[in-house]
Amino acid sequence: MLNIAIDGPAGAGKSTAAKIIAEKLGILYLDTGAMYRAIGLKALRLGIDTRDAERIAAMLPDTAVTIKYIDGSQNIFLDGENVTPYIRENKVSMAASDVSAIPAVRVKLVELQRDIARNNDCILDGRDIGTYVLPSAEYKFYITATAEERAKRRHKELTDKGVDISYESVLKDIAERDKNDSTRAFAPLKKADDAFEFDTTTMSIDEVVKRLLARINCEL
Ligand code: DC
């Protein structure tokens, strides 16, 4: 199976680029962050402290996270409910980052990710795809951008959706997630030694896609 890994911090352009590439190549796009978001959402709904490793781990045996593709786009189901509309809220982003530091959560979700990658040609985006989930993926990318640029993009995305939030607060959340995600002990956000790295700060999404495709040796 063809597996393409794209890792990097929030707002680097991973998911937008990965979606376009999946469509161009006719392969599956797997947004692994959505899985961590679903677990974070469940903890929030149950009122469980998202950093309480013991209680979160105890919740897992009764937690079912599944992916379904509806009209070509990924939908995430939590205990049978399609929670896709609820996982993008800011508080869910932070909750996802918190629960993703808990090894039991990662073990459960990584198993599901590897299973999908084993059975499908796909492009996956996340934090640890190249280093931990699929260390032998054919193509590995690590994309970054300054925190300010990433916050600007995320702020625009949220305000376009009608969310009332300040740029400063988005920047603060991005910085906090960067720190959380890159300092956790188990499978932190990190460039794989053999990943191709580039900075997207001054690039348009078209340029990012072109750069990725050029590396995958594909005609535009
Ligand atoms: O990609 P995202 O912003 O939707 O991810 C939400 C959180 O989930 C992110 O802050 C860290 C965690 N995550 C992870 O630890 N590993 C992944 N492969 C994907 C996401």
Closest C-alpha among 212, 215, 201 to residue 23: 212
Is residue 84's pLDDT more than 70? yes
Give Cα separations from 59 to 51, 105, 180 (angstroms).
Answer: 13, 10, 22
Q: What is the average pLDDT score of the chain?
A: 96
Q: Categorise residue 72: left if φ over 0, alpha if ψ from -120 to 50, beta otherwise.
A: left
Q: Do residues 208 and 215 lie in contact, with contact meaning Cβ atoms separated by under 8 Å?
A: no
**How far apart (Å, rounded) are the C-alpha atoms in residues 207 and 210?**
5
Q: What are the helix (H) ranges across the chain?
A: 14-25, 33-46, 53-59, 90-99, 103-119, 147-160, 167-183, 205-215
**How far apart (Å, rounded) are the C-alpha atoms in residues 214 and 45?**
43
Rounded to an integer, the average pLDDT of 64-68 is 97
Q: Nearest residue CA, atom 9 of ligand 1?
A: 97
26-47 pLDDT per residue, tens: 999 999 999 999 999 999 999 9
Phi and psi at 196, nearest 5°, equal: -90, 120
Residue 161 — pLDDT band, cuts 50, 70, 90? confident
CA of 127 from ligand 1 middle (Å) equals 6
pLDDT at position 7 is 98
Residue 152 — pLDDT band, cuts 50, 70, 90? very high
Residue 12 — pLDDT band, cuts 50, 70, 90? very high
Q: Nearest residue CA, atom 20 of ligand 1?
A: 33
Q: Which atom of ligand 1 is nearest to the CA of 133?
A: 18
**How far apart (Å, rounded) are the C-alpha atoms in residues 140 and 215?**
10
Task: Find out whether the beta carbon of 153 lies less than 6 Å from any atom of ligand 1.
Answer: no
Task: Find out whether the beta carbon of 126 lies less than 6 Å from any atom of ligand 1.
Answer: yes
Contacts of 117 (CB under 8 A, 6+ apart): 1, 3, 30, 124, 133, 134, 137
Task: Find out whether the beta carbon of 127 lies less than 6 Å from any atom of ligand 1.
Answer: yes
Closest C-alpha among 82, 100, 61, 90 to residue 186: 100
pLDDT at position 185 is 95
**How far apart (Å, rounded) are the C-alpha atoms in residues 64 and 39?**
9
Q: Nearest residue CA, atom 3 of ligand 1?
A: 10
Closest C-alpha among 124, 115, 141 to residue 197: 141
pLDDT at position 41 is 98
Q: Which atom of ligand 1 is nearest to the CA of 7?
A: 18
CA of 166 from ligand 1 middle (Å) equals 22
CA of 219 from ligand 1 middle (Å) equals 30
Is residue 219's pLDDT more than 90? no
90-137 pLDDT per residue, tens: 899 999 999 999 999 999 999 999 999 999 999 999 999 999 999 999
Closest C-alpha among 1, 5, 13 to residue 145: 13
pLDDT at position 169 is 95
**How far apart (Å, rounded) are the C-alpha atoms in residues 5 and 45?**
31
Is residue 78's pLDDT more than 70? yes
